[in-house]
Structures are given as C-alpha cells and as structure tokens.
Amino acid sequence: MWPWRRAFRGVSETSIGLAVCDRGAVEGDVIWPTSGTGAELAHAIGEAAADGRNRLSGSPADLVNGYLTWVSNHVRMLQPRLTLADLDRLLTSPRYWATFANPLAVPSTVSAVTDEIEYRTRVMNEAAAALDRAAEAWRAVDGEYTNLVVVDTNFWVEQEESFDSIDWHQLIESADGPGTAAMQDELRLVVPMVVIDELDALTHRTNLRPKVLGATRWLYKHLGSAPDRPSVLANATDTRGVVTAQLVFEPHAHARLPNNDDEIVETAVRLRDFLGHPPRQVFLLTYDSGAAFRARNQGLMPRLLTKIK
C-alpha cells in the first residue's frame, strides 16, 4: 500500500457516516443509517440514551421492567434506521436476552441491568456525537449552499490540463448532463476511497504511471493533512463560489459492490442521503457514459465530459 493511501485511511473512522462506537463493544465497527439522515439518526440515538438514563431509578422490579421496556421501545423506533447487527450492538445484547428470559429482580440481575444501561447509554451518546461530527465535517465552508461533485476515477486519468489551472465551475457547467451547479455557490469535489484505490492499482500500468502518480500526488498535497475535512482549492470571487475537496470514506464493515462504477455511484447516494442534500445539487463528473447512465438512474446529476482526442 502506498504511503499516501495509508495516511488517508488513518483518519477514516471520523469521516462521513462513520459514527464509531466504543471499541470494546464493537471492535471498530460503525453505526450507519439505513434510512434517513445522519443527523436524524444521531437525534434518535441521543433520545434513546437519555430515556435509558431515566430508567436508573425505582425499586428492583421497576428497574428490571424499565430496562426491558426501554430496549423494546427503542428497538421499535430505531429498526427503520439501523441494521439488525447495529441494533444488537446498541440495544439487544446478550445481557438483554438473558434478562428477557429470566426477568426476576434478584440482586445479581439488578446489578447486571444497572451496568448494562449505563454502558449502553454511554455507547449511544458516543455514537450520536460521532454522527454529528461527521455531518458537521460536510457543512458549507463559505456560504449557505454546496454543490457536491463526485469525481470519477477516469477524470484523474484522462485530464490533460494541470489540476491547479482548472476552472472547476466552468468545467461542470460545460459538461453534458441534467441540471447545473450555481456558479456563486460552493463547489465541493468529493473523492471516494474506491477512486483512490483504483488510482493506486493503475500505478502498476507503465503507460499510465506518470499521469496517475501526478494525480495522486496532487490529491495528497491537498487532502493529506486533514483527509476528513474539506480543503480549499480556490477561494471565492465575485462570480465564483469557493472550490473545496474532500475524501469520503466507507464504513469499516462495508462490502464493496463488484462493479467500481456502481460503488462510486452508491457512495454518492449514501453521502447525499446521509446529509439530506438536495438531489439536484449532487453531481458525478465522468468521462464514462456507463457511469453517467448509472448515476442518472440513481437520481444523481451526471456531468459527462468528452475526450478531446
């Protein structure tokens, strides 16, 4: 693995959607919403944690019954937003099932239930805070509105012009496809990790190696110091919004799709849904018509470039 790629991966746990729970509980796995935005999931998990803390009082019988009721209520509310595995990590643990099977309020059970509520609420609060941090990392740098532009791998390979001299707003405007990014709004270039991996693999091809290394060095120059935060590529002017770039990482347990174009499009969709971003402000910049078709089918705004030669 190339050193710059290792450096990118080193911060992935705090990036978009990667709400890292307590490592002792989930061993580095993450909480990722299956529906709704990250902010909505953070709010729901935070409310569940607060409700759990309120159950730490009353008689022994009240505590045990309150614990079982707490888990049941919030499983029902969180089921539409989480995978079953993540529900197990947050709520339906082995201790829950043991208590459910034998809810007698004996001292050992009461002690275990108390420990379980305190532990689970702490894990929930950490997960909610991580989700909030991830959403905050994607807020607009300058102004109120952001156009997200997911950049396909082939762009970095096919582009002849120096990356530093590109007028990114004009490039998006001149490409073919539905919708258009407002010139005065921020333009956030989104680089999925699968693109980094594809570029890394292409360095072994002799005919592409110089161009690919140039692209990866440029990306590392701008994104290497804080990969989980936006980097400013061009400041705003009277007629152009600021241009920024940011990496988007994957959940630790994520299994990539067999087709990399599908994976790139799916990354854009996950990011859009996690942020609740307006669909007409999420673009895919590509030279590949297949990727453009896939993006349009998923509700994205493809911008298809044409090769000069």
Q: How confident is the model at residue 78 (pLDDT cuts 50, 70, 90)?
A: very high
d(CA 132, CA 41): 9
105-117 tens-digit pLDDT = 999 999 999 999 9
Helical H segments across 28-176, by residue range: 38-53, 60-78, 84-90, 94-101, 107-136, 153-158, 168-174
- pLDDT tens profile 130-156: 899 888 999 999 888 999 999 999 999
Contact 301, 177 (CB under 8 A): yes
In angstroms, the first-to-last Cα distance of the chain is 33
Q: Alpha-carbon distance 288 to 282, whole Å?
A: 17
- Mean pLDDT within 247-271: 86
- Which pLDDT tens digit goes with each residue over 152-166? 999 999 888 899 999
Report the mean per-residue pLDDT for the chain. 87
User: What's the rounded mean pLDDT across residues 195-202?
Assistant: 91
pLDDT of residue 218: 94
The answer to whether residues 2 and 203 touch, using CB atoms and an 8 Å cutoff, is yes
Q: For the chain, which residues make up each domain, given as ranges?
A: 17-136, 146-304
Confidence of residue 12 (pLDDT cuts 50, 70, 90): very low
CATH superfamily of domain region 146-304: 5'-nuclease (3.40.50.1010)
Q: Which of 50, 125, 142 lies closest to 90 in space, CA to CA?
A: 125
Task: Give 176's DSSP letter.
Answer: B
pLDDT of residue 253: 67
Are 27 and 76 in contact, with CB atoms under 8 Å apart?
Answer: no
Tell which wins on pLDDT, 212 or 117.
117
Closest CA to 220 of 245, 201, 251: 245
Cα–Cα distance between 155 and 177 in angstroms, integer?
16
pLDDT band at 252 (very low <50, low <70, confident <90, very high): low
**Top-confidence range, 9-18, 210-219, 281-290:** 281-290
Residue 180 has pLDDT above 50, yes or no: yes
Maximum alpha-carbon separation in the chain: 79
The yes-or-no verdict on residue 5 having pLDDT over 70 is no
Q: What is the mean pLDDT of residues 63-86?
A: 95
Encoded amino acid at 27, one letter = E
Question: What average pLDDT does this structure show over 223-249?
Answer: 91
Residue of higher predicted confidence among 9 and 54: 54
Cβ-based neighbours of 155, under 8 Å, separated by 6 or more: 285, 286, 287, 305
Q: pTM above the 0.85 mark? A: no
* pLDDT surpasses 90 at 85: no
- What pLDDT score does 309 carry? 58
Query: What are the φ and ψ backbone dihedral angles of 247, each rounded to 5 degrees?
Result: -80, 150
pLDDT at 204: 84
Q: What share of the chain in percent tops pLDDT 90?
A: 67
| Cβ neighbours, 10 Å, residue 39 | 18
Classify residue 99 as exposed, middle or buried by CB count within 10 Å of its CB (0-12, 13-18, 19+): buried
pLDDT score of 81 more than 90: yes
What band does 83 get if pLDDT is binned at 50, 70 and 90? Answer: confident
Name which of 13-22, 26-35, 89-98, 152-161 the model is least confident about: 13-22
Q: At 180, list the tokens.
A: 């258009």
